[in-house]
Structure 1
Amino acid sequence: MKALLIEVWKRLTPWSKTADVYANDIDNAYPERMDRLINNSVTAKSAAAIMVQYLLGKGYGPEADATVVNKSKSLKLADFAADVADDLVKQRGVFIHINYNALYQVADFSVLPFEWCRIGKKDSNDYAGKVAVCKEWLRPKRSDIELIDVYNPRKKVIDAQVEKAGGWEHYKGQVLYINMDTKLIYPLSRIDSVAEDCDSEAQASVYKNRLLRKGFFGNTLVVTRPLVGDSLVPGTPAHQHAETERDAFQKAIKDSLGADNTGGVLCLEMDFAGEKLEDAVLIKQIESKIDDKLFEYTEASVRENILVAFNNLPSGLVKTNDSALFGNSGEAMREMKRTYWENTTRERNLLTAIINRLLGQSADHSSLTVEPQKLTDDADIDYTG
């Protein structure tokens, strides 16, 4: 049992004395690793894009599309919502930077990259008052780590923070941290349970690519009788002439196959019996050794696991080929969309609540509330990521 438990991988959040933060896994690189696994897996990347689309629906209407929520970054509300949705889908959490004006109203807000943020030290009440922001956590320098106060919109709290910072001109604002795993310091990624499946899908592509690029697949094997006789003494004019003739012959063979030859030409010399031309020269195309059936089973298996991780995304909604999309009846497609719209209700409601919460405290947009428009047609879904 002990040996078994050692083999079971677990994401840990140890305290990092060098950076004064809770590390996100032993190497403090969990968010980056999960994001890379998603991007390397065509299924995970497609599934994430579709789930984000279902959280956003068809958008929040023309007013939301025109609303700027961060002037310094020219960030519109629609783009902000997409940034929040992306982190909720992939990391199951999000860090949002909020700036206030002197009237204690939200002046602007934007999403901080999840991989940049770590939680600072907790007090006796298990409350962490700071979020540490750094672009590189592998070997961070203290001078590169920026500490920002955790979100608390109360006037009294903001006053104390502004005073401690040395005035409004030095105040860094606050960070609203949303964690969908409330019992954990950091949320587990959407693909945490299928990380190896994402990697398996990526490695299958790498394996096939290496076979095609570096293997014998696509090469032409040319076998001839020895072009330089054993009786010739190396270094003599006769031997050098024979070597030159061999090089010219092999070059002619390669040129005859054309510049577009998929692989290359392998020339082999060996003794043949017989006097006919076909007994003296053999040309053979080397075929692929890729077991398509094996990969078909493996890729289908990991693909199904990954889709389950994304809130049971129906495979018919993932546009991998025409048959996957159009092989179902119109009613079947509509039912899959209805089902997945329900499957993503929690995340969509959370996204909407975050946006409306910030808009309600905003200096310029307090009267605006949004609600995502439901997806009604396949054309509403962007499969490209």
Structure 2
Amino acid sequence: MKLTNLPKAEPALDPKFLKNLGIKSYDADNLYPQNVRNIVLNSKTGSGCLERYIDYIEGRGIASEPLAGFVVNLDGETLADLHAQVSADLGTNEGFAIHVNYDIDGGIVSLHHIPFENARIAEPDEEGNIRKVALHPDWTGQLTRNGKPVKITKDTVDYLDVFNPDPEIVLAQIQEAGGPQFYKGQIYYYSRQGFLIYPYARFHAVLSDMSTDEGLSNIMNRNVRNNFLPAGAFVRLKSQGAPYSGDDTDAQPQVDDADYAEDLAALQGDTEALKMLDITIESKEEMPEFINMQGNNYDKEFTATAAEIKDCIYAAFGQEGWLAIRNGKVGFSGTLVADVERDYAKRQIKTQKALSRCYKTLLQAWTTAQPLPAEPNDANLAIIPLVDTTTPTQK
């Protein structure tokens, strides 16, 4: 079969150029990172896998303790703090952004984590070069300050230069801004898809499965809360006349319809199930009829779907080993768990080395006015895996 005869797959991202803002949108609605975050957080399986993925990327931190504890900005954040924030963004979005500021000599004096969902890539210039990264605190337009929404306009968007530590370029940018007090700095934008290319999440292919996982949770919740708890229904004739009053000795004691309905409603729900309703009658003719009701349990109908969804999500994160242990397919032992953890830690080494190279690039341009406590080389900036990756025979 020819490839051209196959149905055309939709692109992972559908970016558009927003001329009013001078940026390329992150998907059609410019909210891809925000949409991904919401889908993952609402999926119990997806959020659990993502949390483990981020933990293994972060590992046990940077090898050099002096560098890990080095304060990288005026907020008192250390390089270890920055690493934790960057790891979370990289795990969720396959990218991260860091704000870089310089002194008058062109040396880096501070590094700040920028939430990746706040950064957008500007339009290329006439030569096809991207010079700016646009930052906004909330591209959804829902953020308010002093009770007023922060609109998304060129006036509320900050446009910062793309990272380039060349001292001559930095000094030229400072002069163009009107001096150090007006200079906004640069943005180090990292994407696993390539230089200044919007990345798509590693688990992009299973976002629909995560959404289904959320739906299955909702079904089970409604099934427990609303479905099979009513045991039956009382059927009775509507009360005749006014409710019984103690001053009317001739009247027959009757149950008020409104009170009766409220009493029955109070017995519904999982926390009120199986309680008894006391009804007093004067004669057998007034006895209400009870109809037994059998609710339906729909959980079993979705068992196969839930299992398949879970398989797909675990596979997208490369965590099939944990799923097999959880399902009891391979048994359970300390040695087996250690093997699974070691294998997953090895898979993150490539990503951790990429992070180390990024930190090395940034710290090699650090200002000489505030010397680093250790040499920013590969060994010092290596990220220690979360678990020991050497096999017992290698020790």
The TM-score, its normalising length taken from structure 1, stands at 0.80
Give how far 1:156 is off: 1.2
Q: 1:296 to 1:247 in 2, by over 3 A?
A: same
Any unmatched runs of 5+ in structure 2? 142-151, 279-283, 389-395
The one-letter code of the counterpart of 2:90 is L
CA distance in 2, matches of 1:101, 1:119: 25
8 Å Cα contact 1:132/1:148 also seen in 2: yes
1:222-273 Cα offsets, whole Å, 9 max, x none, are: 3244363xxx5899x99x9776455566667778999941499999xxxxxx
Show the counterpart of 1:194.
206
Give how far 1:21 is off: 0.2
Q: Please tell me whether residue 346 in structure 1 is matched to residue 350 in structure 2.
A: yes
SS at match of 1:131: strand
CA RMSD, 1 decimal:
4.0
Q: Please tell me whether residue 374 in structure 1 is matched to residue 361 in structure 2.
A: no
Q: How does 1:243-282 map to 2 (within 5 A)?
A: 244-245=255-256, 260-262=271-273, 281-282=289-290
**Among 133, 136, 143, the residue aligned to 1:134:** 136
The one-letter code of the counterpart of 2:113 is V
Show the counterpart of 2:305.
298
The one-letter code of the counterpart of 2:130 is A
8 Å Cα contact 2:230/2:268 also seen in 1: no
Q: Please tell me whether residue 154 in structure 1 is matched to residue 160 in structure 2.
A: no
Show the counterpart of 2:228.
217
Q: Which stretch of the first structure deviates more once superposed, 115-124 or 53-62?
A: 53-62
1:313-337 Cα offsets, whole Å, 9 max, x none, are: 2341799x7x769942222222212
CA distance in 2, matches of 1:194, 1:257: 38
**Among 174, 180, 184, the residue aligned to 2:192:** 180
Give how far 1:38 is off: 1.4
8 Å Cα contact 1:132/1:145 also seen in 2: yes
CA distance in 2, matches of 1:191, 1:48: 9
8 Å Cα contact 2:121/2:196 also seen in 1: no
8 Å Cα contact 1:97/1:175 also seen in 2: yes
Give how far 1:130 is off: 0.4
8 Å Cα contact 1:24/1:186 also seen in 2: yes
Q: Percent sequence identity over matched residues?
A: 24
CA distance in 1, matches of 2:23, 2:335: 51
Give how far 1:59 is off: 1.9
Q: 1:360 to 1:243 in 2, by over 3 A?
A: farther
SS at match of 2:272: coil
8 Å Cα contact 1:221/1:285 also seen in 2: yes
Any unmatched runs of 5+ in structure 1? 268-274, 378-385
CA distance in 2, matches of 1:298, 1:350: 37
CA distance in 2, matches of 1:31, 1:360: 30
**Among 177, 180, 191, the residue aligned to 1:168:** 180
Q: Please tell me whether residue 67 in structure 1 is matched to residue 70 in structure 2.
A: yes
Q: Which stretch of the first structure deviates more once superposed, 117-126 or 28-37?
A: 117-126
Q: 1:234 to 1:247 in 2, by over 3 A?
A: closer
8 Å Cα contact 2:59/2:383 also seen in 1: yes
Q: Which has the higher helix share?
A: 1
The one-letter code of the counterpart of 2:375 is S
The one-letter code of the counterpart of 1:151 is F
CA distance in 2, matches of 1:14, 1:89: 25
CA distance in 1, matches of 2:196, 2:111: 25
8 Å Cα contact 1:314/1:340 also seen in 2: no
CA distance in 2, matches of 1:332, 1:33: 36
1:147-169 Cα offsets, whole Å, 9 max, x none, are: 10000000111111001100011
Q: 1:282 to 1:18 in 2, by over 3 A?
A: same
Q: 1:221 to 1:122 in 2, by over 3 A?
A: same
Give how far 1:96 is off: 1.0
The one-letter code of the counterpart of 1:222 is A
Q: 1:107 to 1:313 in 2, by over 3 A?
A: same
The one-letter code of the counterpart of 1:95 is A
Give how far 1:49 is off: 1.5
8 Å Cα contact 2:345/2:387 also seen in 1: no
CA distance in 1, matches of 2:54, 2:331: 24
SS at match of 1:104: coil
CA distance in 2, matches of 1:66, 1:282: 72
Q: Please tell me whether residue 355 in structure 1 is matched to residue 359 in structure 2.
A: yes
Q: 1:104 to 1:328 in 2, by over 3 A?
A: same
CA distance in 1, matches of 2:320, 2:91: 16
SS at match of 1:371: coil
Give how far 1:123 is off: 2.4
SS at match of 1:142: coil
SS at match of 1:98: strand
The one-letter code of the counterpart of 2:348 is T
Give how far 1:124 is off: 3.8
8 Å Cα contact 1:221/1:265 also seen in 2: no
The TM-score, its normalising length taken from structure 2, stands at 0.78
